[in-house]
Structure 1
Amino acid sequence: MDVKTATRVLDVFNLFAEQQKPLLYSEIASAMGIPLSSCHGLLKTMVAKGYLYELGKKSGYYPTQKLLHVASVICRRDPLVTALEPVLLTVRDSTRETAILAKLADRQVVYLSVVESTQTIRYSHQPGGFKSLHATSSGKALVSVLDPKGRRALLDSYTDWTPITPNTLPSRERFEQDVAAGVARRWQRSVGENVEDVMSLAFGFRVHEQSFAIVVAGPVARMQKHEEEIARIFPAIRQQLADVLAPTRIDFDTGDPE
């Protein structure tokens, strides 16, 4: 399977997730912008592998439960996310806001796990979603725990400082200043920099030399009101992380300037 075909398979699943209804192959081809013949062959292969079924010639296709089964088996054996689930639950329950496990993925932030707040108005996001490095507390936290050489190399290669909101830090200089301030207080902050009405706090850590972050996110007004209270629980969360990850190579807050 080449890269284009692999991408198309994922696009098919994402399309069904968006539409949430059976789709004709002509509708799938149109939505994905690919030739009918290519789409037909792709869908037939997915049917043959058990991931799609055809409701009828004029009724379209829909995913089977196989994808759910395979994904469930995979997720149950995720060594890090499974180990850190109790930590995220503690963060969510202690702050009453959404708790997120994030990781540095090339020059972006990827959300590995999201435990949503139980409050009616809350920050919501799908696991697997990507965020800009320069406009999020998670990005700042992930950068903060890189060694100086790694941090410099990453920021040298990061060229898109396009503002996402009026509050986005517009330059590398401003970003590095903000990260340095966060390192001094031992947690990072983003106030409406990625989404105008969302604020988040985060701190970074490393596992097997990879950068991760724990993030707390919620509506700006509520987060600002409870910012100090949320920050006060971070030492206990760090200790819980250390206890959970004791068998692994973990190093907290290694982004301190030397």
Structure 2
Amino acid sequence: MDVKTAARVFEVINLFAEVRQPMTYSEIARRTEIPLSSCHALLQTMVAKGFLYAPGVKAGYYPTQRLLHVARDICSQDPLALVFQPLLAGLRDATGETAALATLAGNRVVYLEVVESRQKIRYSDEPGGFMYVHVSAAGKALLGALSVKARRRLLDSCEPLPLSTDGSATERNALEQEIEQGLEDGWHRSTGENVEDVAAVARGFLINGEPFALVIAGPKARLLKHEHSTVEALLETYKQIPASLLG
């Protein structure tokens, strides 16, 4: 369950990231559907903490540089990023496709790190992006990393399973069989279920009991053409994860 005030802070920050211009508190309230009085109080608190400022009497509010500096300081010492950024860069270079590290956020997949392909036509995403577990290679790999009991409990929380990109429904039993087959193979695949014309392969694993997945994604035709070598690079990168982290 969301904590309302905390959720509203992130809604305001995300709104500025989308609009990228100063906004009055009434406009912010309208776009976020926060009551006017609550929105005004929230914005004043963010001003008092140094995260917003008023660029002019009637110009409204805009984030200060403090948000950038705080985020940069935090991210610079992310223990997993320090390990996985070079691994993902190497995986991107070995395959030519976008590489990512994913984990679970409730019953959805979220990317923690993304190293995009250098090719002009590529799969593009960013950290913090969400997707459904049942239509993505990352989600299947993460589900596979869980115990059977935990996996079924998570899938129960997703039902009814949302439709795939093409509007087709996912059969629960078929999904669980696909996850089991992926565990036997050592990797999981998706072919356009989440994003049309995008395919991905992923390898799931546990860190301190929590599920994570290495992911490679790209244009479906190109990735499937080179799937064998892509999977080889994926599994080789997995072997490079420090043993002290796994488990």
Aligned length, in residue pairs: 246
Tell me the alpha carbon deviations over residues 42-97 of structure 1, each in whole angstroms, 9 at most, x when there is no partner: 11111110000101111121100000111111111111122111111111111111
Q: 1:37 to 1:155 in 2, by over 3 A?
A: closer
Using the aligned pairs only, state the percent identity.
52
| TM-score with structure 1 setting the length | 0.90
1:125 alignment partner in structure 2:
125
2:13 alignment partner in structure 1:
13
Residue range with higher mean Cα deviation, 143-152 or 223-232: 143-152
Is 1:147 equivalent to 2:147 in the alignment? yes
SS of 2:146's partner is coil
Checking the alignment, whether the CA contact within 8 Å between 1:146 and 1:211 is kept in structure 2 is: yes
1:254 alignment partner in structure 2:
none
Counterpart-to-counterpart distance in 2, 1:149 and 1:43: 44
Counterpart-to-counterpart distance in 1, 2:17 and 2:130: 17
SS of 1:215's partner is strand
1:219 alignment partner in structure 2:
219
1:255 alignment partner in structure 2:
none
Runs of 5+ consecutive residues of structure 1 not aligned to the other structure: 252-258
Residue identity matched to 2:244: P
Q: 1:154 deviation in Å?
A: 2.6
2:71 alignment partner in structure 1:
71
Checking the alignment, whether the CA contact within 8 Å between 2:8 and 2:34 is kept in structure 1 is: no
Q: 1:220 to 1:50 in 2, by over 3 A?
A: same
Runs of 5+ consecutive residues of structure 2 not aligned to the other structure: none
Q: 1:59 to 1:158 in 2, by over 3 A?
A: closer
- Give RMSD over aligned pairs: 1.6
Tell me the alpha carbon deviations over residues 97-153 of structure 1, each in whole angstroms, 9 at most, x when there is no partner: 111100122211111111111111111112112110101000110111222332233
1:247 alignment partner in structure 2:
244
Alignment of 1:128-207 (within 5 A): 128-166=128-166, 170-207=170-207
